Structures are given as C-alpha cells and as structure tokens.
Structure 1
Amino acid sequence: MTRPAAQAVEWVERLRGRGWQAEALPLIGIAGAPDPQAVQAAWARLHGCRAVVFVSPNAADRFFAARPPDQAWPAGVLAATPGPGTDAALHAAGVPPELRVQPAPDAAQFDSESLWQQLRGRDWTGGRVLIVRGDGGREWLAERLREAGAEVDFVCAYRREAPRLDAAQDRLLRAAIAEPHRHLWFFSSSEAVDHLQACCQERGLQPAWHDSHALATHPRIAARAAALGCGQVVEVQPSLEAVSAGIERSIQSLAP
C-alpha cells in the first residue's frame, strides 16, 4: 500500500480485515503547509465562499487541523471532494452531510471530472470558490469553475515530499523488488509510481518491472505504472469492495 502514511495504515487494516496480507510502504511523504498563516487566513474568510473543494484526504485533514477553536463549518458553504475517501475525512471533521458534494457512487472515476458533473448545474456567477490542495496540482476544475463565472482561489494546506523509508520499509521495498510475483503494488497516485522508481535508482536496485503487478485507481495512474514497465496493471475504484475484487483478479498471474 503506497499511499501517504495515514491513508496507507487505514487501508492496511481494512484489507487485513478481508484476509489479505497487506503492508504499508508509503511512497509519498506529507509535510506541513509552507505558509501556515495563509491557511489561517483562509479560515477567516471561509464564510464568504460559495464552496470549498478539498482535493484529497490530506487536504481535508491538514486544513481542519488548522481550524480556529470553536469555529464551526459555515452554514451554506458547500464542501466538495473528488471521492469517498476525502468525503469521509470531511464527515469526520463534522461537515454536515447536506453541505458535502462528491461524485455519484456509480461514477466511472472518482476525480475532478466526475465531481464537476455534480457541480456544473449550480449557479457560480460571482461566487468565490476556495480549492484546498498540496503544493501544486491539476488546474482542470478551477478552469471549469472560472468559465462558469466563479472566482477561484487556492490555499496550500500541505506539501508532498519524497518518502523517507525506515529500515523496515527499506527491507519491504527490497523484498518486493526481489520477488515481484509475491507482491502486488497498490497505486493511488502517479507520483507514488515516480517515487518508487526513484527509490530503486537511489539504492541501485534493478527491478524486473515486467514481472511486477499493480492495482491503480485511475487510468492516468495505470498508464504511468504501465510506462514504468509493470507487466500487469489492473484498474480499480478506490473502494474496499473494488480493491478486493482487483486483488482477486490478480491472484492467478501473481503465481510463479
């Protein structure tokens, strides 16, 4: 499980509950906001927004970690997310369900495009929208909102970093590279694929990528894993049922 540490541990527990031998190997590090004052300022002007878009669970967690004491989520301000994992983080933070917006449960993908299908029918003329994200990211949704008449601002609530593997994680990486048929990579970010390649290069490892197997939660991520050379890449929705089914689909080819 290559997601950032907090989400990786959660997924490991869920998959182990289904009987899978899951391990966490976080390949994206998460650090604090480069400008904490900017996050505080965003909270101060939240009441003037028509909507706030959180691009990931880390965006939601880090933004709410900076919430001023006793400040509730403003009435009437939508909280939008690209998928159920981020929506769950908003639920845990206490955002009312009637103010949360996410893609339809049967959406082909959980991404900005699917979220826009839920937002596009609303009146955005003159409305302020805040997008909470890490350092950088896609501009696609911001462009659609601006075309619809919204004023879009960004706030960086966290920074993504290269992973810093401890000794146990280093051993796990080496084992996965040495025995590709016994390991299945779970990628929910193209950046994790890039970091995996970099980690191997730093250690002088020479993976047999064509023998490697992976699950990917989006076509763009699957394409990046395929470009790395992974011999088998299965696309899955980021839900426990879909991931379990994807593992089942991979079992036969995982055998030597």
Structure 2
Amino acid sequence: MALAASASSSVIVTRPEREAKAWADDLQARGVRCETLPLIEIAALPEPSVLTPVWQEVHKHLAVMFVSANAVRFFMAARPDNLSLNDCRAWSTGPGTRAALLQAAWPADWIDSPDEAASQFDSEALWSLVAHRVEADVKRWQALNLTASAEQPSVLIVRGADAQGQLAGRDWLALQMEAAGLRVHQTVAYVRQPPRLTPGQQQRARQAMSDGSRWLFSSSEAAQYLMQACPDLPLDHAKALATHPRIAQKLRQSGWPCVELVPPGLQAQAQSIKSSP
C-alpha cells in the first residue's frame, strides 16, 4: 500500500515494512483508511552463523522468549535442520509473534502468549501468564540443590539490536526473571535501523503533520527515527495514535501535542480509530 502525495486524513502505519503492510491491509478491511510509511528497517545479522551455538543450547532453557515476529523469523532461519522443537517452550508477548511461531512450525502446545482478547500485549501480560511456572521450576531447582548439584533454570531472550549493536527493547522482563531466580541469556537475531526515506516519503511526512492524518505508533523508536529522517518536521498540529501507554508518554514528552491511546488488537483498534474524531 504505497504512500500517495494526494492522500490526506489517513492513518499512517509506521511498523517495519513487512508488518506495516499486513497491519494496514487489516485496518483497511475494517473500514479504516490507511497508508504505510515504515519507520524501522529490519536487517539480518552480518554473520547469522553466530546463532548456531545458541541453537545448540536451546533445550537447556526453561523457555525461549521472542520479543517480536522478526525475532522468530530470523532466529528460526538459523535453526539446524536436525534440531527438534519438542519439549521446548516459546514465550511471546502478542498474537503477531505467536502467529510467526506457528508459521515456523513451533508446536502450539508449547507456546505461552497472552490471549488475543487481552487488554494489553506486553511483557507484563506475558509475565502474569508464566510466573507461576517459573516459580515452580525455581523451587524445584532449589530443592534439588539441597542434595545434589543442579543447573539453575534459565530463559533465553531473542531480540534485535540497533544500528550500533546495542540491544533494542526493555529490560523489565529480564529483571523480573532474575528476581524470581532465573538466569537470563539474551541473543541478537536481527538489526533494527533507521529508514532511508525517499524525497516523496519525506514530502508526505511533512504534509501529514497538518492535514489531519494520524501516525500509528507501536514503537516509540519509530517516532524517534521519523524525526531523525525529517528533523525539520513541525509538530504543532501533528496527531498520533499509540498502542501502549509508554509509547504515548514518550510521544508527549517528545512534543507531540495530540496523542491518543488505542487498543493493541486490530478489531478493537479499528473500532477505536473510527469512533474518534
């Protein structure tokens, strides 16, 4: 769904290109006028082979937590052919990541993810779902250590890195797991980097700041990259939609004057967008 210079009063989906098109198509099918302007570029690691030894240790972990569908896609692409996924749990924070796991043939019974009707898809929602199992495993390990040496239970987090190689995302879940007695391992499976906007996209971005269009952000990083790509954008009349309170807060702190919180689920999101002025 390409951007058009004549478009106005649209919802501009800013997710990475692969996800942006699917999201915009779904919203469009639900009666929301959409266009896409991907503000995060997703790239493979320079040396994907670094994931091979990580895969060799997968079955030693209590679970593998994937931060996004891209984490699934790039990590699974490095999976050795003879490595089974049976008895290996996967954690995801939302339906998009769960769908990517299922598409990659991860057994459905071994996936923990918030229900599609959940009010929020984030680390907090996931933790409320798996914390009881973590507590049981940690207690079992502590009991074993009274009489024998047992390896401390651990979780592997698969995530992205920014263009400088720094881990992208929050550390909240890792801190919860460590506090519960888990060892946390993290691996980078892909790179998130600023977009290279064409002159036409830059022109559309400027127009969208004052024509009533609403920018849909599911990541505050996308808003940051927008201002890097177009540093002279005026925010006086800019409108934004945020899928999480933390994103909304960061947008307001960055100077966006009109920020509306919308539900994360597509059906509820479409209803919310259509009902707002």
Fold shared, TM-score > 0.5 on shorter chain = yes
Per mean C-alpha deviation after superposition, the further-off stretch among 26-35 and 90-99 is 26-35
Q: Distance in 1 between matches of 2:251 and 2:83?
A: 42
- The alignment covers a number of residue pairs equal to 244
Match of 1:148 in 2: 180
Query: For residues 91 and 155 of structure 2, what CA distance do their matches in structure 1 show?
Result: 10
Q: How large is the Cα RMSD of the aligned pairs?
A: 1.8
Tell me how far 1:106 sits from its aligned partner.
Answer: 4.5
Q: Is the CA contact 2:238–2:257 (under 8 Å) kept in the aligned structure 1?
A: yes
Q: Which amino acid aligns with 2:91?
A: A
> Which of 144, 150, 171 is the aligned partner of 1:139?
171
Deviation string 1:191-240 (CA, Å, 9 cap, x unpaired) is: 01111122221xxx341x23222211111101112223333222122221
Q: Map Cα deviations across residues 61-111 of structure 1 (whole Å, 9 max, x no partner).
A: 1111222235432x2211001111111111111111111111244443211
Q: Give 1:180's aligned amino acid.
A: D
Q: Mapping of 1:122-201 within 5 angstroms?
A: 122=133, 123-125=136-138, 126-135=152-161, 136=167, 137-177=169-209, 179-181=210-212, 183-201=213-231
- What is the letter of the counterpart of residue 67 of structure 1? R
- Structure 1 residues 41-50 or 76-85, which shifts more? 41-50
Checking the alignment, whether the CA contact within 8 Å between 1:2 and 1:186 is kept in structure 2 is yes
Deviation per CA, 1:125-145: give whole Å up to 9, x if none. 221211000121222211211
Aligned pairs for 1:167-246 within 5 A? 167-177=199-209, 179-181=210-212, 183-201=213-231, 205-207=232-234, 209-246=235-272
Greater C-alpha radius of gyration: 2
Q: Which of residues 130, 134, 141 in structure 2 aligns to 1:119?
A: 130
CA distance in 2, matches of 1:105, 1:92: 17
Contact kept in structure 2, 1:38 and 1:155, CA below 8 Å: no
Aligned-pair distance for 1:34?
4.8
Does the aligned pair in 2 maintain the 1:55–1:132 contact within 8 Å? Answer: yes
Which one has more relative contact order, counting CA pairs under 8 Å at least 6 apart?
2
Matched-pair contact (CA < 8 Å) for 2:91–2:111: yes
Letter of the aligned partner of 1:196 in structure 2?
Answer: L
| Kept in 2: contact 1:234–1:246 (CA 8 A) | no
Task: Work out the CA distance in 1 between the residues paired with 2:265 and 2:217.
Answer: 13
Q: Give me the whole-angstrom Cα distance separating, in 2, the residues matched to 1:66 and 1:172.
A: 38
Percent of counterpart pairs with the same letter?
Answer: 41
Superposed structure 1 runs of 4+ greater than 3 Å apart: 104-108
Give me the TM-score of the superposition, normalised by structure 1.
Answer: 0.88
TM-score, reference length from structure 2: 0.82
